[in-house]
Chains A and B, each alone.
Chain A
Amino acid sequence: MLTDVLLVTKVLNGERDYFDILIKKYERVIYNYIFNITLNKEDSEDIVQEVFIRAYKSLYKLENKANFYSWIFKITINTMNTHFNRKKQYIPLEDNLLIDVSCDINDTPEEIFKIKEENKQLLQKLSVLNQDQRNAIILKYVQGFSYKEIAEILQIKEETVKIKINRGKKKLYDLNKNKAK
């Protein structure tokens, strides 16, 4: 497997084709991340394309080439923020946005429906968090990044990440608590 360092170096040396390998390597995880948050195929397609276009154009700014993975997440989050600031909404809660969800071909309609419902419920819960808390919690619990990686992606201190995640946790806990009352 070619390392990211090598791939990035090759691209920066003018060997453009190596960027295709980088795309192939990461498009799936990026697309899935975006899709899990937007639940909208069109938005996800737009964003994933924009992410890699941005990444290509600013590749020369990547200081530590070994960090390509977290760097591309950084771009993804920025792109999503811009995208949804433009649209003035972040989380789609209307049912009709879920219609064109693409699922695995082998899934039964019931399974597809279940997945959609679960995602929707989760996003509804997470909508009590502010944008930073939500990003941090999703990166930690959905994507499984470490605190250190999240700090890099969100360009904040590791301690701040922990604080944000803890606050987010508390909010989610309080939400359930209030519901129980």
Chain B
Amino acid sequence: MKCNMNMLFDYIDGNLADENTEKFETHLESCEVCRETIRTFKLMETVGEQEYGVTVDVVQSVKNYTDKNMYDRKKYVFINKYMSNRKSFIKYASLTVIALTIVGGIIINNNHGFKDSVKDGVIIDAFKNKDFDKELADNAKSIVNTSYYNDFVKVLQEKGYQIVEGSFAGGPIQLPQNLDREGKNIDVANILNNGNKSSISSGLDFSGYLGKKVMLLTCIKEEPNNNRKEVICILTKDRIIGFWEEQILNDNKKELYSYTLLRDLKVDDFKDGLGNISSQDTDFIKIDNLPQFYTVEMARSNGDVLLGLSDNNNDRFHKFLNDYENKVNSRVRIAIYHIKNDATIVDLIYDGDGIKAIINETRDPSISKEIYGTKEYKVLNINKKNKNNTIFYTATLENNTELILAYENEK
């Protein structure tokens, strides 16, 4: 018998028919190549059976390097909480950045700011009723120009819904110009058509928003029998314009289908030219060219503002603000360290037109690959806020995210 690779691997996998096994084993006696290959695969099995004891306390190190309250739901919403406790401030800063990335930008609504309005909001009371889903729909319309968004998310989470990353992280989508069931986006049209029908029955009609950039939010709740309930919300900057529910049977295909379709609508927010970095700053290493292990010491000696650390180069930040007020081109780099050498780096650049923020998060291991990379945002506002004798500087980005830049004690 000639050496036969297929037979060899069938033999290794135990799939060789009995009548062939004998033949093959005879061949084996004379074939070193087959014997050696079998040995390699046997060795793999043996290696897999070896057991080594774990020589490090994983439980403890996870405790040391993560925020144990990360999944305390309130923390996602009551960002104010962090403002009242300065010790937690580093956490707050990193949370903001994480929020910025996962959320694609709306965890802090523009109107919401740092007001303490969440706790005594009317909306929360309305949502406390048992019959959540109807209540939510009825009240969604009245949530206009309030801190509605955070409350909305909070209620969803309290009711056991989880925000689905695919839609939420995508942030803005652009609704198609029309919902005609024609053309290549026929499935999208179907989803939106049906969605709007059911949304209208809840009192919200988003057909007036076609062609507009909106925000898509999808939430999932695990139901008995492996079914899932899905809530899809369409939001604008200041209100919920569409809202419907779907019962998803345990059929992953369908689920995947509708997400990918809606995701196709995603707008590339950053496509528009935002101006080039002014060439006068040759001493600046481009954000993408910074070393992967960018230590606190390196950042400090480069003159980066170090958020929340002592000796934080905050005067650089003030120089930048001064330059901005005096309309002088300027830039500053801010490094936000979470654990160790995993800084999120933010460049603020003022080039005469306006400020833009370039954010690089490639060093944060908790951020998934899809959102790795450098992103550029327009800065709408730089805000200064005084809270408990600490002054916070934040930037409102074009996607209504508030990004913490620096903080210091009141002088």
Which residues of A are interface residues toward B (Cβ below 8 A)?
A: 9, 11-14, 16, 19-20, 23-24, 27-28, 31-32, 35-36, 41, 44-45, 48-50, 52-54, 56-61, 63-65, 78-79, 82, 86, 102-104, 115, 118-119, 121-122, 125, 137-138, 141-144, 166, 169-170, 172-173, 176-177, 179-180
Contacts and interface: CB of A to CB of B under 8 A. Distances in A.
B37 A23 contact: no
B62 interface: yes
Contacts of A45: 55-56
Contacts of A9: 222
A23 B47 contact: no
Contact of B62 (A14, A53, A176, A180): A53
B65 A53 contact: yes
B70 A122 contact: no
Contacts of B68: 16
Contacts of A172: 37, 40
A176 B58 contact: no
Given A11-B71, A14-B72, A45-B56, A122 B43 contact: yes
Interface string B36-74: 110011011111101111111011011001101111110
Given A14-B69, A121-B43, A169-B9, A49 B61 contact: yes
Interface residues of B, number: 46
Contacts of B165: 60-61, 63
Contacts of B353: none
B27 to A, nearest CB: 14
A36 B50 CA distance: 9
A85 to B, nearest CB: 9
Contact of A23 (B46, B62, B163): B62
Given A14-B72, A49-B62, A86-B292, A28 B48 contact: no
Given A28-B54, A59-B71, A53 B47 contact: no
25 contacts: A16-B68, A27-B54, A31-B54, A32-B52, A44-B55, A45-B55, A48-B54, A49-B58, A53-B65, A60-B162, A102-B55, A104-B51, A104-B52, A118-B46, A122-B44, A125-B40, A141-B45, A142-B44, A142-B45, A142-B47, A172-B40, A173-B5, A177-B33, A180-B33, A180-B36
B51 A49 contact: no
Given A20-B59, A122-B47, A103 B69 contact: no
Given A13-B71, A23-B62, A169-B9, A58 B43 contact: no
A31 B66 contact: no
A176 B210 CA distance: 64
Interface of B: 5, 8-9, 32-33, 36-37, 40-41, 43-48, 50-56, 58-59, 61-62, 65-66, 68-73, 102, 162-165, 222, 252, 292, 365-366, 368-369
A54 to B, nearest CB: 6
Contacts of A24: 59
Nearest to A36: B47
Contacts of B56: 45, 48-49
Given A16-B68, A141-B44, 20 more contacts: A9-B222, A14-B71, A16-B70, A28-B54, A52-B58, A52-B61, A53-B65, A56-B66, A60-B163, A61-B368, A102-B52, A104-B51, A104-B53, A119-B47, A122-B47, A169-B9, A172-B37, A173-B37, A176-B32, A177-B33
A58 B368 contact: yes
A34 to B, nearest CB: 10
Contacts of B73: 13-14
Q: Most chain-B Cβ atoms within 10 A of its Cβ — which of A13, A53, A60, A78?
A: A53
A53 B40 CA distance: 34
Contact of B66 (A35, A53, A64, A82): A53
A27 B162 CA distance: 27
A13 B208 CA distance: 38
Contact of A179 (B36, B52, B252): B36
Contact of B43 (A23, A60, A102, A118): A118
A52 B62 contact: yes
Contacts of A44: 55
B387 to A, nearest CB: 25
Contacts of B41: 141
Contacts of B47: 36, 118-119, 122, 142
Nearest to A118: B43
B293 to A, nearest CB: 8
Contacts of A36: 47-48, 50
Given A14-B73, A121-B43, A176-B36, A144 B48 contact: yes
Contacts of B52: 31-32, 35, 102-104
B222 to A, nearest CB: 8
A44 B55 CA distance: 9
A143 B50 CA distance: 11
A55 to B, nearest CB: 8
Contacts of A28: 51, 53-54
Contacts of A61: 165, 368
A24 B53 CA distance: 12
Contacts of B66: 53, 56-57
Q: Which 8 A-B pairs have the closest CB atoms?
A: A57-B366, A142-B48, A141-B44, A45-B56, A176-B36, A14-B72, A49-B61, A31-B54
Contact of A57 (B43, B50, B70): B70
B283 to A, nearest CB: 27
